[in-house]
Amino acid sequence: MREIQFRQALGEAMSEEMRRDEKVFLMGEEVAEYNGAYKVSQGMLDEFGPERVIDTPIAELGFAGVGVGAAMNGLRPIVEFMTFNFSLVAIDQVINGAAKMMSMSGGQFNVPMVFRGPTGNAGMLSSQHSQNFESWYANTPGLKVVVPFNPYDAKGLLKSSIRDDDPVIFMESELMYGDKGEVPEGEYLIPLGSADIKREGTDVTLVSFGKFMKVALQAAEEAAKDNISVEVIDLRTVRPIDYETVVQSVKKTNRLVIVEEAWPLAAISSEITYHIQKHAFDYLDAPIHRINSLDVPLPYAPTLIEVILPSVKRALEAIKAVSYV
């Protein structure tokens, strides 16, 4: 099977859906003439023209609102934020507009659109450009939230997101756009709300999503050297969450560790911890451990970034802590 980059998988997903459905279009800063800030939309302007691949001003509130209005009128916009840090400028349109319109209109208006772009840290970009808002958006009824890990999942999930009749927050990683992975040539979709077991195991369940799946998988490899068999689950979507896959895994392994980039308070890991203690408490042989970023804004200095973010070392320590109870 061919190997392509994460950015290419996203670009293929958008292009395929735009060929399939003329109501789909892309808008955002630098998506057209510049081929995208991260080259995700490379070549799309040439194929689809400026009416369907639209460069916007640096005005997230404005073009997000245009997207919501377009979706309410039957189109299927893909709105790219250069980073989800900038989505805060548009958050009223996302949460008070897109997410609530179906409910507020008594079912008269769907808002079939995708807000997509990079989330989390991308190296030395400091506090205002290194944040994770997955749990913010996942806390909002009316939104679906997707955080893919590899090119295969990214393409299948983005195609499903574009076809979905509800607004979808599709969160990527700036550090993963160059990652390569196997992606088939043919048409495929991955349903939203379906987790994936990336590694089978029997001793500990390790849950993560997005780029920190790399930490989870590496920690599982290290644990195997100490004869600890770790089952690694990639949530893929954090609203809706596939609780059942996690519950069934914990019933098998009797232990749970969660790795997440976001700050610890009211995080996705908090929600999973609550759900497991409610629905699989009698199966737990050790307290649940979760690894989040430390509860501080991310600084510029790489030495401090290394201390603050979840690491293989911290994940491995947690795996061993629950294994030896």
Tell me the per-residue pLDDT of 164-191, one tens digit each, with 9 for 90 and over: 999 999 999 999 999 999 999 989 999 9
- The pLDDT of residue 167 is 98
Q: Does residue 277 have a pLDDT over 80?
A: yes
Q: Which CATH class is domain 196-323?
A: alpha beta
**What count of other Cβ atoms lies within 10 Å of the Cβ of residue 19?**
11
Query: 3-182 maps to which CATH number?
Result: 3.40.50.970
Rounded to the nearest 5 percent, the helix, strand and coil shares of the chain are: 40, 15, 40
pTM of the model: 0.96
Distances (CA, A) of 82 to 1, 13, 24, 30: 31, 18, 19, 9
Ramachandran class of 173: left when φ > 0, alpha when ψ lies in -120 to 50, beta otherwise: beta
* Alpha-carbon gap, residue 179 to 155, rounded angstroms: 13
What's the chain's length in residues?
A: 325
Q: Which of 207, 214, 188, 171 is nearest to 85 (CA)?
A: 171
Closest CA to 103 of 53, 143, 65, 134: 143
The catalytic site residues sit at: 60, 129
Q: What is the pLDDT of residue 296?
A: 96
Which residues in the chain are classed under CATH 3.40.50.970?
Answer: 3-182
Closest to 70 measured CA to CA, from 20, 27, 11: 27
Residues 216-229 have a mean pLDDT of 98
DSSP at 325: -
Using DSSP's 3-state secondary structure scheme, residue 3 falls into strand
Q: Is the pLDDT of residue 30 over 80?
A: yes
Start-to-end Cα distance in the chain: 43
- Give the per-residue pLDDT at 1: 86
Q: What is the pLDDT of residue 183?
A: 98
Mean pLDDT score, 5-22: 98
Q: What is the pLDDT of residue 324?
A: 86
**Which whole-number Å values give the CA distances from 64 to 61, 103, 165, 267, 284, in the listed order?**
5, 19, 17, 25, 44
Per-residue pLDDT, averaged over 208-222, amounts to 98
Give the pLDDT score at 2: 95
User: What confidence tens digit (pLDDT) does each residue in 75-100 have?
Assistant: 999 999 999 999 999 999 999 999 99
Question: What digits encode the pLDDT tens for the residues 109-127?
Answer: 999 999 999 999 999 999 9
Which pLDDT does position 299 carry in this prediction?
94
What does the alpha-carbon distance between residue 318 and residue 204 come to, in Å, rounded to a whole number?
A: 10
Reply yes or no on whether the pLDDT at 74 is more than 80. yes
**Axis-axis angle for helices 312-323, 213-224 (nearest 10):** 50
Ranges in the chain annotated CATH 3.40.50.920: 196-323
